Amino acid sequence: MGTMHVEKKRFTTKEQKIQDFSKHFEFKIAKSAQEMREIKRLRYDVFIKEMKYELESDPYHKTESDKFDENSIHCLIRHRRTGMTAGYLRLITTEANKTNGLKILPIESEYHAEFYSDELKPSSFSLDTVCEASRLAVSKTFRTPSIYNKMDFTDSEKSHFPMIVASLFACSYALADLRKRTNMFAIMEPSLPRLLSLSGFKFKKIGKEITIFGKRNPYHINRKLAESGARNEIIMLCKNIKEEISLQIP
């Protein structure tokens, strides 16, 4: 009698790490008042308290928010075992058919980016195809060894902390894909796109340098550009995140 061989999916070391990341962290679309307080407090801690940005804030409740929050999808990363909020990113979207919807992204309206050509402006694209990744924040607890090494995190958990930034951008890409937003924009410090490029995210610089809390540049990424350089493990990460948040999208 012959022996039947069942072929199982063999993961590379990097792909296995992506699978393990999902065991330690979950992605949540913030909907409740409690979840919104969580992310606004994280934004306050990172942008106001730590980075000293002069943004709108409530020092009494220790929260940071702005007028674009109501036109955004808010996603947080939560550490499963402790329930701690590890990171956050929002996706700002425009609306063509709503009277109270956003008609122009803050990269143009607030930050007045000087684009290399009119064709690269978000407003040159259809309103229902554009979005802006914004307010990326990682809790100091999850990015500072002198802090997390004194806590009861396991070695396995700690080994996945450096992936939080890349996973946030993977989340923004998954959100954009779910909302059929094929053109995503962002204003980032020069080092961040270089860091993300190591994970396979290829942002294209589309304008001149802006001075906002230091040096920043406007960037654009579309589905074709994102997928052209994505590595297998990043494709897997985006797929995992997309499956997790697809039922949470309002």
Going from the N-terminus, what domains does the chain have, and what CATH number goes with each?
A: 24-245 (3.40.630.30)
Which regions of the chain does DSSP assign to beta strands (E)? 25-29, 57-58, 63-64, 72-79, 85-93, 130-138, 183-188, 204-205, 210-211, 215-222
* Cα–Cα distance for residue pair 223/233, rounded to 1 Å: 17
The mean per-residue pLDDT over the stretch 77-98 comes to 93
Does residue 99 surpass a pLDDT of 70? yes
- Per-residue pLDDT of 173-191, as tens digits, reads 899 999 999 999 999 988 8
Higher-pLDDT residue of 222, 138: 138
Place of tokens 């499963």: 80
pLDDT number for residue 8: 46
Residue 20 phi, psi dihedral angles, 5° rounding: -70, -30
Residues 177/179/180/183 CA torsion (nearest 10 deg):
-70
How does the average pLDDT of the chain come out, rounded?
Answer: 88
- Cα–Cα distance between 90 and 169 in angstroms, integer? 10
Q: Mean pLDDT over residues 93-116, rounded?
A: 89
**pLDDT, tens digit, for every residue of 156-171?**
999 999 999 989 988 9
Query: What pLDDT does 11 receive?
Result: 57
Question: Which pTM value belongs to this model?
Answer: 0.89
pLDDT in tens, 175-231: 999 999 999 999 998 888 887 777 677 788 999 999 888 889 999 987 665 666 566
pLDDT value, residue 69 = 95
Give the Cα separation of 250 and 246 in Å (integer).
9
pLDDT at 19: 83
